[in-house]
């Protein structure tokens, strides 16, 4: 079983430690991420400073408007909002390597319309340290 790395080990390996939404106030890292509510179509979140930070990209993508925060007020374009109802389903996508997968901990939640297929086989697998191909994994079926 693979041992999880602590933050110091991440830094020593040259791995990015900070995570989405890249705000030091949250204290989230790649090793210690969340909690994060994953919105589904029709779910509603209150618009406070935390939810504005966590869901800003999703809301701006859905609405094609900027989400801003002035004092205690959240604005979507020119309109004041106190809550938001999501129009799409979202997914947290996780990679297969805890310490260095470029997944939702780096870039946030994935909107369902962006999912275009299903992975069935491993196309390529490379050892990061040596750069050599891991032939025993190439074309292996994903279960």
Report pLDDT digits (tens) over 49-72: 889 889 999 999 999 999 998 888
Instruction: Please report whether residue 59 resides in a domain.
Output: no
Question: Which candidate, 105, 85, 81, places its Cα nearest to that of 95?
Answer: 105
Q: Which pTM was predicted?
A: 0.71
Q: List 75's β-bridge partners, or say none.
A: 68, 80
Domains held by the chain: number: 1
Instruction: Please report whether residue 96 resides in a domain.
Output: yes
Q: How far is CA 68 from the centre of its chain?
A: 21
Domain that holds residue 101: 1-36+92-108
Scan for tokens 């933050």, then name that residue. 7
Report pLDDT digits (tens) over 111-128: 999 999 888 998 888 887
Q: Report d(CA 40, CA 97) in Å as an integer.
A: 26
Instruction: Please report whether residue 120 resides in a domain.
Output: no
Instruction: Please report whether residue 99 resides in a domain.
Output: yes
Instruction: Please report whether residue 19 resides in a domain.
Output: yes
Instruction: Please report whether residue 135 resides in a domain.
Output: no
- H or E stretch covering 105: helix 104-107
CB of 28 closer than 8 Å to CB of 53: no
Instruction: Please report whether residue 100 resides in a domain.
Output: yes
Instruction: Please report whether residue 4 resides in a domain.
Output: yes
């Amino acid at each position: 079983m693979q041992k999880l790395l602590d933050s110091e080990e991440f830094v020593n390996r040259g791995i990015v430690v900070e995570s989405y939404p890249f705000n030091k106030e949250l204290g989230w890292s790649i090793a210690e991420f969340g909690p994060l509510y994953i919105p589904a179509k029709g779910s509603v979140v209150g618009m406070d400073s935390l939810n504005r930070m966590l869901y800003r990209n999703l809301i701006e993508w859905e609405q094609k408007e900027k989400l801003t925060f002035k004092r205690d007020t959240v604005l979507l374009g020119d309109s004041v909002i106190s809550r938001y109802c999501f129009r799409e389903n979202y997914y947290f996508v996780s990679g297969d390597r805890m310490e260095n997968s470029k997944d939702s901990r780096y870039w946030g939640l994935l909107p369902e319309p962006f999912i275009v297929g299903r992975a069935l086989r491993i196309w390529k697998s490379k050892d990061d340290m040596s750069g050599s191909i891991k032939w025993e994994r190439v074309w292996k079926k994903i279960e």
